Amino acid sequence: MLRGRPMAAIALRYFYLLRGSPARVVPLFAWVCIDIVLWGFMSRYLNSVAAAGFNFIPALLGAVLLWDFLIRIMQGVTMAFMEDVWSRNFLNVFASPLSVSEYLGGLVLSSIATSAVGLLVMLLLATTVFGLSFFAYGVALAQFLLTLFLFGIALGVFACAVVLRLGPAAEWFIWPIPALISPFAGVFYPLSTLPGWMRLFSHLLPPAYVFEGVRRVVSGGAVSTAALTWAASLAGIYLVLACWFFARVYRHAVRTGLIARYSAESLS
Amino acid sequence: MASANESGPAPESPTAKILAVTELCKCYGETVAVDRITFQVGRGEIVGLLGPNGAGKTSTINMILGVLAPDSGSIRIEGLDLAAHRSRALERTNFAAVYAPLPGNLTVSQNLRIFGLIYGVEDLTERIAASLEQFDLVRFRDVRCGALSSGEQTRVSLAKAMLNSPRLLLLDEPTASLDPAAARDIRAGIRESATQGGRGVLWTSHNMYEAEAVCDRVLFLFRGKILLEGGPQALLEEHGMATLEELFIAVAREPLTLEGR
């Protein structure tokens, strides 16, 4: 059974850190603002030079906003985890009654809070300055957000497991993960643009279904409910696999003694 | 950390030991860190875990804290098998160690609140206030732990260790960074809490005078094995030594001569 208070403790820890540190607060919205401004003007420019009838604001700017939402979700989990790495807090946390699932639950709560800030700022900017309306996506928006949320959490938990297994220096492996995925996810272009072998990978990525759905809605077509349900299910499967991987890495760390001597990075 | 799915009643009884370690064993590759040790800690008892560097003290404590899995053997805390009921066993346990300071980027009261929530402490605000008072930390409550002196950080770690009124308290060199006056006060406080609160304490230290003054019983570890076990005075008389420090040096230099006794 998951207990609320220990999970709240992990989220509260991150809130305390944010409250006392502008260096942690500013990145919650600064980079996404830059992205929205950059792609907002890019979309306007494309609207002015492309054939009339197609609106790049919901197609391109909307996709960038959704992609940034996924990145914020993932980084929300990993940043909360990295705070324990940077402050060498593993022994205090892992020698407590906290369970693995409660710890991960606390990281997810932290991520929900921080990514909500980023999403609100992006929406405000994209709506007021560039006239993006999420209502254009209709009810499919809820499925888009759910799928990206689940996949973002899965990526975050997977990244935490990688750092737990390989040591603090492995954080440089995890920050570029979204950039590695983005060409296959078709954030900026239809999947039909990709060569066949890349499309094979795309079909394994839940965000690819979301961005195909976004383009279909914008061009006036109907979103395939079956495709979006499959995407959300796939994201759910990845989340379960990521939690399983984290638990397995954790058990390895307890068996080898790595948790207690984490700064050593490896005991071999 | 523990599996979230734990159930079953805590098999407590008034006569049960707070901590029962049985045939505990841990190897790192070919190196035997802990070699089938068995010991107990009773209610109101302070047990000293002594031995030279690399004797297996910290590995033993890490296994009792659940951050290191034993290769074999069992650990029971108030009758609860740590392997099967980890969360519930660790709710009754806490620890302080010089190598595990609380996060330096959080204030003293923030750290205590977070760990109080994790340990499920009731009436947390009152408990935090009492702990700050007990460990003379009131004036530091809004100071980040990283800005404190090492002695003050040690007191914060001890405040966190006592926050949940643990039945089993593990202390790894708890007074190493404290000045003599503060160390004496801390020793007296822990002694009192063990006696009056019925708490069991497992205490490691390289300060033999401290061990002699505080511990009801000491265990001498050498290369993962318990070489000697007993009350400090009884051990000194048995081995014809004047101080525990002499005995410690003898254990570290000539363990084989003592092993057979």
> Is residue B126, in this structure, part of any structural domain at all?
yes
Asked if residue B22 and residue B76 are part of one domain, the reply reads yes
Domain co-membership, B27 together with B118 = no
pLDDT for the residue numbered B11 = 47
- pLDDT-derived band at B189, boundaries 50, 70, 90: confident
Say if residue B77 is in the same domain as residue B103. Answer: no
Among chain A residues, CA nearest to B145: A87
Nearest Cα residue to A216 out of A206, A205, A204, A228: A228
Q: Are residues B74 and B117 in the same domain?
A: no
Between chains, do A94 and B100 touch, taking CB under 8 Å as contact? Answer: no
Strands B200-204 and B46-50, how do they pair? parallel
Domain count, chain B: 2
> Which residues pair with residue B220 across a beta bridge?
B50, B228
A33 reaches B (C-beta below 8 A): no
- Given this model, what pLDDT does residue A133 score? 85
The residue written with tokens 């003293």 in the block is B108
Asked whether the beta carbons of residue A6 and residue B117 sit closer than 8 angstroms, the reply is yes
Record the tokens describing residue B111, joined without a space. Answer: 């750290």
A1 at B interface, C-beta within 8 A: yes
- Residues of chain A with confidence (pLDDT) below 50: none
Q: Shortest CB distance from A91 goes to which of B67, B87, B120?
A: B67
Residue B66 contacts residue A252 (beta carbons within 8 Å) = no
Partner A contacted by B154 (CB < 8 A): no
Closest CA of chain B from A226, distance in Å: 34
Q: Which of A96, A100, A244, A256 to mutate to test the interface with B (most CBs of B within 10 A)?
A: A96
Q: Is residue B188 part of a domain?
A: no
Q: Answer yes or no: are the C-beta atoms of B40 and B49 closer than 8 Å.
A: no
Note whether residue B104 is domain-resident.
Answer: yes
Parallel, antiparallel or unpaired: strands B225-230 and B168-172: unpaired
Q: Are A150 and A232 in contact (CB under 8 A)?
A: yes
Does any domain span residue B3? yes
Q: Is the same domain home to B79 and B113?
A: no
Q: Locate A145 and state its tokens.
A: 């957000």
B226: part of which helix (H) or strand (E)?
strand B225-230
The confidence score (pLDDT) of residue B258 equals 59
Q: Which amino acid is at B89?
A: A
Contact B102 A89 (CB under 8 A): yes
pLDDT category at B7 given cuts 50, 70, 90 is very low
- For residue B193, tell me if it sits in a domain: no
pLDDT of B6 strictly over 60 = no
Average per-residue pLDDT for chain B: 88
User: Residue A222: what pLDDT?
Assistant: 83
Q: Report strand pairing: B168-172 vs B200-204.
A: parallel
Residues 79-108 (B) with a CB less than 8 A from some CB of A: 86-88, 90-91, 95, 97, 99-107
Across A233-260, b (16+ Cβ under 10 Å) vs e yields ebbbebbeebbebbbebbeebbebbbbb
- Do residues B200 and B168 lie in contact, with contact meaning Cβ atoms separated by under 8 Å? yes
At residue A228, the 3 state secondary structure works out as helix
pLDDT at B127 over 90: yes
Query: Could you report the predicted ipTM of this complex, rounded to two decimals?
Result: 0.88
User: Does some domain include residue B37?
Assistant: yes
Ranges of beta strands (E only) in B69-224 are 72-77, 80-81, 93-97, 168-172, 200-204, 217-222
Q: Are residues B148 and B220 in the same domain?
A: no
Which residue intervals of chain A are DSSP H helices?
Answer: 4-19, 22-49, 56, 62-86, 90-94, 100-130, 140-166, 171-174, 177-185, 196-202, 206-218, 225-256
Q: Which tens digit of pLDDT belongs to each residue from B234-248?
A: 888 888 888 888 888
Residue ranges of domains in chain A: 4-264
B21, B176 contact by CB (below 8 A):
no
B87 and B5 in a common domain: yes
pLDDT confidence of residue A241: 98
Per residue in A87-128, pLDDT (tens digit) is 999 999 999 999 999 999 999 999 999 999 999 999 999 999
Task: Specify the pLDDT at position B125.
Answer: 96
Contact state of A98 with B67 under an 8 Å Cβ cutoff: no
Tell me if A91 and B120 make a contact (CB, 8 A cut-off): no
B106 contacts on A by Cβ (under 8 Å): 13, 16-17
The domain that holds B239 is classified in CATH as: 3.40.50.300
Q: Contact B118/B166 with Cβ under 8 angstroms?
A: no
Low-confidence winner among A41-45, A87-91, B98-102, B192-196 (lowest mean pLDDT): B192-196
Instruction: Return the half-sphere exposure (C-beta side, CA atoms, 13 A cut-off) of residue B245.
Output: 6
Same domain? B60 vs B177: yes
DSSP state of B74: E
The reply to whether B122 and B12 lie within a common domain is no
Residue B4 pLDDT > 70? no
Q: Classify residue B74 by burial, with Cβ atoms within 10 Å: 0-12, 13-18, 19+.
A: middle
- B204-213, pLDDT tens digit by residue? 988 888 888 8
Beta-bridge partners for B74? B22
Based on the fold, state whether residues B59 and B9 are members of the same structural domain. Answer: yes
Shared-domain flag, residues B18 and B50 = yes
Cβ distance of A6 and B68 shorter than 8 Å? no
Structural domain including B141 reads 98-165
**B14: confidence class by pLDDT, cuts 50, 70, 90:** very low
